[in-house]
């Protein structure tokens, strides 16, 4: 029996994978929740875990982690317990380890001015309040204005409740709205915008472009793929694939992407205008404590279906605004 492994099966010569050669292919995807629990159970035997450590809860906040990521997580949690001189690794150590791996190391030495702290606090609270107001969005776990990593001046951590394999159109739209919530809060409060939303805009634009070019989610452009997903490998993909559609269609794609992002921004502003009191109170608390959770500020808890906000109704909040969206032509 001959075994081989690769991360790029699509580039193998067909002569290698035909019957009689490597004729059976077994795909090993990232572990699901049950698999993550089992993997954590193996690695946790090497440390002294406290009684409060719940592997199911740890697995629940680590979707997308590979086996190596989970092993690193256990090591980071153990290191965190060692730094504070504890005899056991607690659930809080695991939570901090997840934050360290996902958001980066805390940079408390990075001192922000008073105005910058206010901008960052409003930005992060904007993300959090929009996330708590929309259906199908991962609940907010923690909001912080402590700088982390290389460029993050603050972060809003959302904790998935389950592994997701299929995402509906409305959920993608809501994700974009959450991403635009930070910039929307800045404009509402300060009347101007900053460079802090660069990564948010990049991610929102990427979602919008995939909805238009890969998922066939724009009615006017039909059910077809315009830009197949390709990964660059040894130079592959660096030279663009020739377009098999007209310049007019290319313009329609650009307009459709812009429309999706503009609608998300408009919806984020409308949501935050409806929750302006929560925005002001939450930001004041965040500036005072630097890190807060839904336990510290109940408005961060996801609004139940049917519950109404002050101001526009949820249906109005989710409705696209035509004046912000260029029409396709």
Q: What is the mean pLDDT of residues 223-250?
A: 68
What's the pLDDT at 109?
64
Sheet with 291-292: strands ordered across:
155-158, 140-144, 291-292
67 shares a domain with 168: no
CB 179 within 8 A of CB 171: no
End-to-end CA distance of the chain: 59
* Buried b or exposed e, range 265-289, using 16+ CB within 10 angstroms: bbbbbbbbebbeebbeebbebbbee
List residues bridging with 155 in a β-sheet: 144
Report yes or no on 308 lying in a domain.
yes
Looking at the predicted structure, is the pLDDT value of residue 326 above 50?
Answer: no
Percent of the chain scoring above 90 in pLDDT: 50
223 shares a domain with 148: yes
d(CA 242, CA 250): 12
158 shares a domain with 62: no
Give me the DSSP letters along 14-48.
Answer: HHHHSTTSS----------HHHHHHHHHHHGGGS-
Torsion sign (Cα): 159, 291, 122, 109: negative
Structure tokens belonging to residue 34 = 């049950």
d(CA 41, CA 31): 13
Percent of the chain scoring above 70 in pLDDT: 85
144 shares a domain with 67: no
Domain count, the chain: 2
Report yes or no on 286 lying in a domain.
yes
Out of 48, 72, 103, a domain closes at 103
99 shares a domain with 118: no
- Compute φ and ψ for 285, nearest 5 degrees: -65, -40
d(CA 153, CA 135): 27
Q: What is the mean pLDDT of residues 109-123?
A: 87
Looking at the predicted structure, is the pLDDT value of residue 329 above 70?
Answer: no
d(CA 104, CA 149): 4
Looking at the predicted structure, is the pLDDT value of residue 310 above 50?
Answer: no
Report yes or no on 207 lying in a domain.
yes
221 shares a domain with 94: no
Report yes or no on 152 lying in a domain.
yes
Out of 53, 79, 103, a domain closes at 103
Q: Which of 50-59, 113-122, 276-285, 295-304 has the lowest mean pLDDT?
A: 295-304
Report yes or no on 20 lying in a domain.
no
Report yes or no on 252 lying in a domain.
yes
CB-CB neighbours of 258 under 10 Å: 15
Nearest by Cα to 101 from 28, 182, 155, 41: 155
284 shares a domain with 156: yes
Q: Which of 46-60, 154-168, 220-234, 300-314 has the lowest mean pLDDT?
A: 300-314
- Compute φ and ψ for 117, nearest 5 degrees: -60, -40
207 shares a domain with 58: no
Verify whether residue 124 is a known catalytic residue. yes
What's the CATH code of the domain at 215?
A: 1.20.58.760
211 shares a domain with 65: no
Residues 78-105 pLDDT 10s: 999 999 999 999 999 998 898 888 877 7
Looking at the predicted structure, is the pLDDT value of residue 65 above 80?
Answer: yes
162 shares a domain with 297: yes
Looking at the predicted structure, is the pLDDT value of residue 233 above 80?
Answer: no
What's the pLDDT at 71?
95
d(CA 66, CA 63): 9
Helices (H), the chain: 14-17, 33-43, 55-60, 67-83, 91-103, 114-133, 169-190, 198-213, 247-274, 276-289, 314-318
What's the CATH code of the domain at 75?
A: 1.10.8.60
pTM: predicted TM-score of the whole model, two decimal places: 0.77
pLDDT band for position 18 (50/70/90)? confident
210 shares a domain with 84: no
Report yes or no on 11 lying in a domain.
no
Out of 84, 103, 122, a domain closes at 103
Domain that residue 85 falls in: 33-103
Report yes or no on 16 lying in a domain.
no
* Buried b or exposed e, range 44-56, using 16+ CB within 10 angstroms: beebebbeebebe
Residues 190-206 pLDDT 10s: 999 999 899 999 999 99
Q: Active site residue: 76, 99, 124, 187, which one?
A: 124
186 shares a domain with 217: yes
């Amino acid at each position: 029996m001959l075994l081989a492994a690769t991360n790029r099966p699509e580039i193998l010569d067909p002569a290698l994978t035909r019957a009689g050669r490597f004729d059976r292919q077994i795909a090993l995807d990232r572990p699901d929740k049950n698999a993550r629990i089992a993997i954590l159970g193996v690695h946790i035997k090497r440390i002294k875990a406290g009684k409060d450590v719940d592997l199911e809860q740890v697995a629940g906040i680590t979707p997308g982690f590979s086996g190596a990521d989970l092993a690193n997580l256990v090591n980071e949690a153990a290191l965190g317990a060692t730094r504070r001189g504890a005899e056991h690794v607690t659930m809080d150590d695991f939570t901090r380890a997840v934050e360290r791996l996902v958001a980066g190391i805390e940079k408390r030495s990075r001192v922000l001015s008073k105005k910058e702290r206010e901008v960052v606090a409003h930005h992060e609270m904007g993300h959090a309040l929009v996330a708590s107001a929309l259906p199908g969005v991962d609940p907010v776990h923690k909001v912080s204005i402590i700088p982390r990593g290389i460029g993050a001046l603050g972060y809003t951590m959302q904790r998935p409740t389950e592994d997701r394999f299929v995402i509906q159109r409305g959920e993608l739209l809501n994700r974009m709205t959450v991403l635009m919530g930070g910039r929307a809060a800045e404009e509402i409060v300060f009347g101007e915008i900053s460079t802090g939303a660069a990564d948010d805009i990049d991610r929102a634009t990427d979602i919008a472009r995939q909805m238009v070019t890969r998922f066939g989610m724009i009615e006017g452009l039909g059910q077809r793929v315009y830009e197949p997903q390709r990964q660059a490998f040894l130079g592959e993909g660096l030279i663009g694939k020739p377009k098999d559609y007209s310049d007019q269609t290319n313009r329609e794609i650009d307009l459709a992407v812009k429309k999706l992002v503009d609608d998300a921004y408009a919806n984020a502003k409308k949501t935050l205008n409806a929750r302006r009191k929560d925005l002001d109170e939450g930001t004041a608390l965040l500036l005072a404590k630097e890190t807060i959770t839904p336990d510290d500020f109940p408005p961060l808890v996801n609004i139940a279906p049917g519950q109404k906000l002050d101001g526009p109704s949820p249906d109005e909040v989710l409705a696209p605004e035509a004046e912000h969206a260029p029409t396709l032509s």
